[in-house]
Amino acid sequence: MQSMLDAPVTVLPGIGEKRAQTIRALGLETVRDVLFSYPRDYKDFQKTVAPEQVKIDTPQLTFGQLTNLTERRISRGRRIIQGQLGQSLRLTWFVYHKGHGSSYLYRKLERAGRLWVYGVPRPGLFGPEMSSPEVFLRAPKYPLLPVYPLAAGISNDQRLRWAETALKHLEFLPECLPEAVRGTRLGRREAIREIHFPRDWTSYERARERLVFEEFFLFLLGLQRGKRHADGIAHQSDGELVKRYFANLPFTLTKGQREAIEQVALDMEARRPMRRLIQGDVGSGKTVVAEYAAVKAAASFGQVAMMVPTEVLARQMVQRLKNSLEPLGLAVELLIGNMKAKEQARVRAALESGDCNVVVGTHALITEKVNFRHLTLAIVDEQHRFGVRQRSALLGKGNADLLVMSATPIPRSLALTMYADLDTTEIRDLPAGRTPIDTRLVDPVRRDEVYRYVVTRVRQGEQAYVVFPLVEESEHMDLKAATQEMVDLQRGPLAKVRVGLIHGQMGKEKDEVFAAFAAGEIDVLLATTVIEVGMDVPNATVMVIENAERFGLAQLHQLRGRVGRGSKPGICFLLAYNLSPHSRERLEVVRRSNDGFFIAEEDLRLRGPGDLLGVRQWGQPFFRLADLEEDTEILQQAAGQVEKLLIQDPTLASYPELAGELERVAW
Ligand code: ADP
Ligand code: MG
């Protein structure tokens, strides 16, 4: 149902077409989006403290008479404004003002006399001082002032005003939870109002609890409802084609691989749709299981779609599948956004006609334009990079079986949520003869030696990775620092070998550089964490990880899994520049153990749950408020309610508002 809530943000004050574009980048397109994008914090204006009584080092609001006001020019264009509030609190502002006369802020303060300021008092020479506090001429309107996530060119004030206006349309927002499910929780409208403008902290807590519950409830309901789907496809039992696939395999399967394959065979032959997760450490050989499933599907005249998180991985995977499946007479194609339109159209046509048996791709696979003749198997590799919605979008292209593969061990409560609809098989062993990666924790004074060693191995025909930390690739400074270091290496210690450079913000060239590395035309690949998942270049044997202390343990383990994948043993150097006893203890875990599950558990123990790498990545796309580690109790409650409701009304026929909301939530 269309309502005022679906109106574009341009109906809000001060938002023209141009600004709306900036805002869209924030994911805010409609009035509803504004309502559902919550403050990230609040400023506590509930109490006003006298200037003589402020507490050091805590943010607070104070009110008093402003005296001793001065403004001085400190350099070209820069001014310092100083004053005193009440008897003892010193205030300082720095402003940018080029013209003659006094600055705007100075004139405002001069006229004000008595005012409110909000800031953090620090101890100064002559008593407490506040630097650049916020100024209010009138008493702040809200007891808890919302602070919204920032975006370039948009002030918190503006953001706040949009929320205020959007709330005027709140009457159009239906309650989506059935009475019985909601229980004593806040109603939806009240919760939304209170999360933006809480009356006090208790009220905030109640609003948050309600909305977190709603997030979990809708999420789990979406998953569970999908599980009770109708009949799937019963694939045929293994025949000639599968036999030929196994005969061509250049190695013997591990026990774990054999068991996983047997399980997948049972799943695929049954009429009940397969929903299986294969979890196995890096290098445990999950791809073989996927290949087997693909051959089996093709032997039953079905098509296969495999979705991977990045274009680089897609290119690599398609190459692997071409090598192993084309000899069996199967047609394998690539479909990614970064391909000529004509080529994309050709692949799409081949999928529609059924000429293509297996397609590997990125998100490009789930766009509307892609149609299959008869899709019977959907494979999602490195699952943690995808949302549930993308997973079901792929499934929706046919009545397909689903095989999901993941290397990232995750905490149990999280697994319960993410995999609520999946049956799990673990591969716990590694292929025989795989020597554990020799991991060394190296003092930076020996950095040159490490790079000399890299060069030695390159001379022997092997290849290496050097990895730089870049937590957030959008952080400009970080990227600049990393690229500078890369360039320095390229000019210095690695001047005599062929070096390639790759980071997340590169476009197409990224693929080219990586292809060159895979082809052996580049000896050393300098990279940010873009290489973290799934890459497979067996000739790469050495890895250097710069600033290893800045990585998560699970991530380090993933990274070093990129070397030692062939017959030659791998070696990994961890260079740590800021080694506290705590970070030494953490890195020692990775140095001593090669067991991804153990490492994930230790990571959890040493860092505390919220920090665990991956948790954020996991949670973020699904939940706005919910914290998967903190809110487990609410999670359990939601799970219980979902189960009850689905028993009572599996199709949600008597809950149209709820069914409607399910369609809408952005997973
Ligand atoms: P991951 O589980 O990390 O996706 P892959 O499927 O990419 O692992 O396999 C890692 C490497 O191990 C590949 O080069 C693959 O050819 C090889 N491999 C897989 N299974 C075996 C096996 N049973 N014996 C030897 N090598 C294997
Ligand atoms: Mg893999």
Strand order in the sheet with 438-442: 438-442, 571-575, 540-545, 463-467, 524-527, 499-502
Q: Where are the alpha helices (DSSP H) in 492-580?
A: 508-518, 553-560
Q: What is the rounded CA–CA span in Å between residue 137 and residue 17?
A: 32
pLDDT at 535: 73
Q: What is the dihedral of CA 116, 121, 124, 127, to 10 degrees?
A: 60
Looking at the structure, do residues 372 and 423 belong to the same domain, yes or no?
yes
Domain end (from 369, 397, 427): 427
Least confident among 173-182, 354-363, 425-434, 535-544: 425-434
In three-state secondary structure terms, 289 is helix
Q: What is the rounded CA–CA span in Å between residue 219 and residue 211?
A: 12
Average pLDDT over residues 187-201: 97
Least confident among 210-219, 231-240, 655-664: 655-664
Give percent of the chain with pLDDT exceeding 70: 88
Q: What is the rounded CA–CA span in Å between residue 393 and residue 492?
A: 48
Domain end (from 561, 593, 625): 593
Measured in degrees and rounded to the nearest 5, phi and psi for residue 34 equal -65, -40
Domain end (from 368, 398, 427): 427
Tokens describing residue 390: 């993308």
Are 103 and 71 a contacting pair, CB within 8 Å?
A: yes
Q: How many domains does the chain have?
A: 3
The preferred substitution site among 258, 287, 319, 434 for testing ligand 1, maximizing ligand atoms within 8 Å of CB, is 287
CA-proximal residue: ligand 1, atom 16 (nearest) = 285
Q: Given a cut of 80, is residue 533 above it in pLDDT?
A: no
Are 204 and 195 a contacting pair, CB within 8 Å?
A: yes
In three-state secondary structure terms, 276 is strand
Looking at the structure, do residues 62 and 93 belong to the same domain, yes or no?
yes
Q: What is the rounded CA–CA span in Å between residue 577 and residue 550?
A: 10
Average pLDDT over residues 337-353: 95
Average pLDDT over residues 220-225: 79
Q: How far is CA 86 from CA 51, 59, 338, 548, in A?
A: 6, 18, 63, 50
CA-proximal residue: ligand 1, atom 18 (nearest) = 285
Looking at the structure, do residues 260 and 391 belong to the same domain, yes or no?
yes
Instruction: Give the nearest ligand 1 atom to 433 CA.
Output: 25
pLDDT at 651: 84
Q: What is the rounded CA–CA span in Å between residue 378 and residue 384?
A: 16
Looking at the structure, do residues 414 and 489 belong to the same domain, yes or no?
no
pLDDT digit string (tens) for 549-590?
888 787 788 889 888 877 788 999 999 887 788 888 889 999
**DSSP codes, 337-396:** SSS-HHHHHHHHHHHHHT--SEEEESGGGGSTT---SSEEEEEEESGGGS-HHHHHHHHT
Instruction: Give the nearest ligand 1 atom to 257 CA.
Output: 23
Looking at the structure, do residues 253 and 389 belong to the same domain, yes or no?
yes
Q: Of 143-147, 347-351, 379-383, 422-426, which has the strongest mean pLDDT?
A: 347-351
In three-state secondary structure terms, 123 is strand
Residue scoring higher pLDDT (315 or 263): 263
pLDDT at 511: 77
Looking at the structure, do residues 316 and 423 belong to the same domain, yes or no?
yes
pLDDT at 67: 95
Strand-pairing partners, residue 527, are 467, 502
Tokens describing residue 168: 């005027």
Q: What is the rounded CA–CA span in Å between residue 279 and residue 639?
A: 23
- b/e per residue 597-606 (b: at least 16 CB within 10 A): eebbbbbbee
The preferred substitution site among 321, 425, 536 for testing ligand 1, maximizing ligand atoms within 8 Å of CB, is 536
Are 532 and 507 a contacting pair, CB within 8 Å?
A: no
Assess if residue 41 is contained within a domain.
Answer: no
In the chain, the amino acid numbered 456 is: T
Q: What is the rounded CA–CA span in Å between residue 538 and residue 580?
A: 34
Tokens describing residue 194: 């209170």
Residue ranges making up the domain that contains 56 = 46-136
Residue scoring higher pLDDT (534 or 213): 213
Q: What CATH number is associated with residue 537?
A: 3.40.50.300
Instruction: Give the nearest ligand 1 atom to 284 CA.
Output: 2
Looking at the structure, do residues 445 and 415 belong to the same domain, yes or no?
no
Assess if residue 20 is contained within a domain.
Answer: no
Looking at the structure, do residues 395 and 454 belong to the same domain, yes or no?
no
Assess if residue 201 is contained within a domain.
Answer: no
Ligand 2 centre distance from Cα of residue 291 (Å): 11
Assess if residue 100 is contained within a domain.
Answer: yes
Looking at the structure, do residues 492 and 576 belong to the same domain, yes or no?
yes
pLDDT at 191: 97
- The region, left, alpha or beta by phi > 0 then psi within -120 to 50, assigned to residue 49 is beta
Ligand 2 centre distance from Cα of residue 280 (Å): 9
pLDDT bucket at 478, cuts 50 / 70 / 90: low
pLDDT at 1: 47
Whole-number average pLDDT of the chain: 86
Assess if residue 105 is contained within a domain.
Answer: yes
Helix (H) or strand (E) holding 291: helix 286-299
Assess if residue 209 is contained within a domain.
Answer: no
List ligand 1's pocket residues with C-beta within 6 A.
251, 253-254, 257, 280, 282-288, 407, 431, 536, 538, 565
Looking at the structure, do residues 385 and 417 belong to the same domain, yes or no?
yes
Average pLDDT over residues 99-126: 90
Sole residue written with tokens 């697994």: 415
Assess if residue 659 is contained within a domain.
Answer: no
Are 368 and 395 a contacting pair, CB within 8 Å?
A: no
Are 238 and 269 a contacting pair, CB within 8 Å?
A: no
Tokens describing residue 37: 């994008």
Give percent of the chain with pLDDT exceeding 90: 48
Instruction: Give the nearest ligand 1 atom to 320 CA.
Output: 16
Nearest residue to 575 via CA among 531, 537, 543, 528: 543
Looking at the structure, do residues 372 and 449 belong to the same domain, yes or no?
no
pLDDT at 365: 94
